[in-house]
């Protein structure tokens, strides 16, 4: 099974204001492929989603960021929304967590505004990436080659634009995580 993620541990880094569908649908696909997903957050207890125009559901935090260790995970998912990545990209611990995945060569998936944290982690330069259109200038200014596509895979990174692209994002993310996690 080329896309079997059995035994693959995926950290989902979020705080309040993540676009709910950009967490729940990719997480469901990862879980269905056999991955073990964990919400990691600088917040304790619960994080609250955003449903397009208003607050959404609260989800339990599985691992507080202060106790999260990159060595305990095989891959990272960065959901978007505006509030969530804008908060994470100025949180030194969150940026260090993201940077550590790249430094370790582990696969990372980011959708919508999620690439903001990748910029602050210093890993956008020289990469082909996509995002929500308003993030395109930020990515270009950080040295990325921004393209307008449903999903883009560049080495150990997959990026996507928006909720409508989630099916393509999920397929690319699961394929990347399966390829990158062989032997993990």
3 state SS of 121: coil
Q: Where are the alpha helices (DSSP H) in 33-165?
A: 83-88, 92-103, 115-120, 136-141
- Which tens digits make up the pLDDT trace of 121-164? 999 999 999 999 999 999 999 999 999 999 999 999 999 999 99
Task: Give the long-range contacts of residues 66-69, CB within 8 A, separation 24 or more.
Answer: 66/42, 66/93, 68/11, 68/40, 68/97
- The catalytic residue among 21, 112, 135, 174 is 112
113 in catalytic set: yes
What is the overall mean pLDDT for the chain? 96
Which residues neighbour 102 within 8 Å (Cβ) at sequence distance 6 or greater? 108, 118, 121, 123, 156, 157
3 state SS of 115: helix
161 in catalytic set: no
- C-beta of residue 90 within 8 angstroms of C-beta of residue 120: yes
**pLDDT mean values, one per 10 residues, the chain (184 residues):** 86 98 98 97 97 96 98 98 97 98 98 98 98 98 98 98 98 95 53
3 state SS of 151: strand
CA distance 42 to 28: 22
Full-model pTM: 0.96
Write down all domains in the chain, each with its CATH number in brackets: 9-180 (3.40.50.880)
pLDDT at 157: 98
What are 128's strand-pairing partners? 145
- The catalytic residue among 48, 89, 106, 113 is 113
- Which tens digits make up the pLDDT trace of 110-123? 999 999 999 999 99
């Amino acid at each position: 099974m080329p896309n079997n993620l059995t035994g693959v541990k995926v950290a989902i880094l979020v705080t309040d204001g993540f676009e709910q569908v950009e967490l729940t649908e990719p997480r469901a696909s990862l879980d269905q492929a056999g991955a073990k997903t964990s919400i990691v957050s600088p917040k304790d207890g619960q994080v609250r989603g955003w449903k397009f125009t208003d607050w959404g559901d609260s989800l339990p935090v599985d691992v507080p960021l202060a106790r999260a260790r990159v060595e305990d995970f095989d891959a990272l998912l960065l959901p978007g929304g505006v509030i969530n990545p804008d908060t994470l990209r100025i949180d030194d611990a969150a940026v260090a967590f993201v940077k550590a995945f790249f430094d370790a060569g582990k696969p990372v998936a980011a959708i919508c505004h999620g690439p903001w944290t990748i910029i602050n982690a210093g890993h956008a330069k020289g990469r082909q990436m996509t995002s929500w259109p308003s993030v395109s200038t930020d990515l270009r200014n950080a040295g990325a080659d921004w393209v307008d596509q449903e999903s883009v895979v560049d080495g150990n990174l997959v990026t996507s634009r928006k909720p409508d692209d989630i099916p393509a994002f999920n397929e690319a993310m699961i394929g990347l995580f399966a390829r990158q996690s062989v032997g993990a």
